Homo-oligomer: A and B are copies of this chain.
Amino acid sequence: MKKIDVGKKILSENEKYAFENILFLTERKKLCLNIISSPGSGKTTILARTINELKDKIKIGVIEGDIQTDIDAERIRATKAPVIQINTEGACHLSAAQISAALKELPVDDLDLIFIENVGNLVCPSAFDLGESGKIVVLSVAEGDDKPAKYPAIFAKSKVMLINKIDLLDGGHVDFDIDRAKADARRLNKEIKIFPISAKTGEGMANWYDWLISSVNKNIF
């Protein structure tokens, strides 16, 4: 019982900041996407390629969450997009309070879209709303097709599922039944949009870009 109460308190404090962030973003008509995945699914590679290839169409800023290091922020900085680094110093997820502070440092008025790259973790970040417009879950084919069934919370809550590293499917380098992964995700979430992509080769990225541009133009997902 004690443990559950503690969880509720932390969530409520987080929810207060999340609500502030929603107001901040909605007033300014800015879209904000919270990218969640296991470590090494390719979040940063997806973001860097997306920023570079949409440079002339959408102005993108990034909030980078990492336990330590600014390796990912450096990769985003190379695209010239504005980026704010948050180091959680051991914590397994970003909090809405951290995002609130980062939003004040980003040149939000000059941006169309803000990506939050969460700490690499398929479990904990799903429980902490950041006030984002939507969550994006990334699953690499190298992780296996059973992940939506085994880690259902984030697949149930995401607007989009990016199935990344599909270049590894050619030649059968990994065993991954893409239909099983899609069906399991849709069982959890009828509305989820699914884009198989390779951020390395560029395959499938056009569908993701179309969805992003259309969402920014409509200011809604």
Contacts and interface: CB of A to CB of B under 8 A. Distances in A.
Interface string A73-111: 000000000000000001010000000000000000000
> How many copies of this chain sit in the oligomeric assembly?
2
A150 B38 contact: no
Contacts of A127: 90
Contacts of A67: 123, 150-153
Contact of A173 (B6, B71, B140, B173): B173
A46 interface: no
Interface of A: 3, 6, 10, 38-41, 66-69, 71-72, 90, 92, 119-124, 127, 140, 142-144, 146-147, 149-153, 165, 167-168, 171, 173-174
7 tightest CB-CB pairs across the interface, nearest first?
Answer: A40-B143, A142-B142, A92-B123, A38-B38, A40-B144, A38-B39, A92-B124
